[in-house]
């Protein structure tokens, strides 16, 4: 039986309510991990990640990005990139309110990885650490120049104009059952607006250019066979970020490490990193 979540409405100061949920261990959580999912998906796809975390005493708090899952908004569109960062800050604030300032980690997958790295670089965050898996720093492929030119041109005058991503579902992971479930998921979509595409692309390059300014302990994980987001960009980010960034590349893995056949090893590695950070925090304070 899957671990049940507690759902709630995440109220944001300027942009309206969002669907949110959290999974908690039986005892009081040692720390809270706040999750930001990827483009076109939603937080309920991470229930098995929550099981791995709660079994080790961590809580998982998550929300559906605006324009995704059960949250309102045009599918695949943010009002602005900054509004996406503000929504994540609202999740962090709510987690702090609910759990009496327990240590908090921020975890982002793909588009979520782009967002959490940018939040860590652009804002002073009270975080115990950051995890970014398959972060969308750059795409793993060169999109057609005409399509990029069109997105930039349209994005200036009609940022909400949407188009299909055109990404193959089979590139998500090597587990056919997960792929088929995603394809049949009524809450999943394959849309991105011109404005979001342009802003996310710029933000990924900005994060790469400013990686040396990273001050928070950060774990970056990527599959070496990821066909969607660039593992080389993750390598470059980690090299520029220096000692505060740990890089783990999983040989032969695709985009969604948490859904790959070796996911249990991925969870074990992530939990070991989280436990190390918790021990370091205890020693300091």
pTM of this prediction exceeds 0.85: yes
Q: Is residue 121 part of a domain?
A: yes
Asked whether residue 161 is assigned to any structural domain, the reply reads yes
**Considering 226, 230, 234, 258, which one is annotated as catalytic?**
226
Residue 38 inside a domain? The answer is yes
Residue 1 lies in a domain: no
DSSP label of 139 = B
Q: Domain range for residue 218?
A: 6-284
Question: Is the residue at 227 inside a domain?
Answer: yes
For residues 49 and 33, is the Cβ–Cβ distance under 8 A? no
Is 110 part of the annotated catalytic residue set?
Answer: yes
241 found inside a domain: yes
Candidate list 71, 110, 193, 234, residue with the active-site label:
110
Catalytic residue from among 37, 77, 189, 255? 255
Q: For the range 89-95, what are the long-range contacts, defined as Cβ-Cβ under 8 Å and sequence gap of 24 or more?
A: 89/119, 89/123, 90/10, 90/11, 90/12, 90/13, 90/18, 91/10, 91/20, 91/34, 91/36, 91/61, 91/62, 91/63, 92/34, 92/125, 92/127, 94/10, 94/20, 94/61, 95/22, 95/32, 95/34, 95/61
- Split into its structural domains, the chain has a count of 1
pLDDT per residue as tens, the chain (285 positions): 567 899 999 999 888 899 999 999 999 999 999 999 999 999 999 999 999 999 999 999 999 999 999 999 999 999 899 999 999 999 999 999 999 879 999 999 999 999 999 999 999 888 999 999 999 999 997 765 655 545 555 555 555 656 677 789 999 999 999 999 999 999 999 999 888 989 999 999 999 999 999 999 999 999 999 999 999 999 999 999 999 999 999 999 999 999 999 999 999 999 999 999 999 865 554
CA distance 193 to 206: 20
Taking the C-alpha atoms of residue 180 and residue 175, their distance in angstroms, rounded to an integer, is 9
274 inside domain? yes
- Whether 226 is catalytic is yes
The CATH number of residue 240's host domain is: 3.40.50.1820
């Amino acid at each position: 039986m899957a671990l049940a979540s507690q759902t709630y409405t995440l109220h944001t100061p300027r942009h309206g309510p969002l669907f949110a949920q959290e999974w908690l261990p039986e005892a009081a959580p040692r720390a809270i991990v706040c999750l930001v999912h990827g483009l076109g998906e939603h937080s309920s796809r991470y229930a098995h990640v929550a099981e791995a975390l709660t079994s080790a005493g961590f809580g998982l708090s998550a929300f559906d990005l605006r324009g995704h899952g059960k949250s309102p908004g045009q599918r695949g569109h943010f009002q602005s990139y900054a509004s996406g960062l503000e929504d994540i800050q609202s999740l962090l604030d709510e987690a702090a309110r609910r759990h009496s300032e327990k240590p908090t980690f921020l975890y982002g997958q793909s588009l979520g990885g782009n967002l959490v790295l940018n939040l860590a670089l652009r804002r002073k965050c009270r975080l115990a650490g950051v995890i970014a898996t398959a972060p969308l720093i750059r795409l793993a492929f060169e999109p057609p120049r005409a399509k990029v030119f069109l997105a930039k041109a349209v994005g200036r005058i009609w940022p909400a104009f949407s188009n299909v991503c055109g990404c193959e579902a089979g590139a998500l992971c090597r587990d056919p059952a997960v792929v088929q479930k995603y394809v049949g998921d009524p809450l999943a979509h394959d849309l991105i607006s011109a404005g979001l595409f342009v802003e996310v692309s710029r933000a990924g390059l900005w994060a790469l250019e400013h990686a040396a300014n990273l001050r928070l302990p950060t774990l970056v994980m990527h599959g070496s066979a990821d066909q969607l987001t660039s593992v080389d960009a993750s390598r470059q980010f980690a090299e520029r970020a220096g000692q505060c960034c740990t890089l783990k590349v999983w040989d032969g893995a695709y985009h969604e490490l948490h859904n790959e056949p070796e996911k249990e090893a991925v969870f074990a590695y992530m939990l070991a990193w989280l436990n190390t950070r918790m021990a370091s925090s205890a020693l300091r304070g």
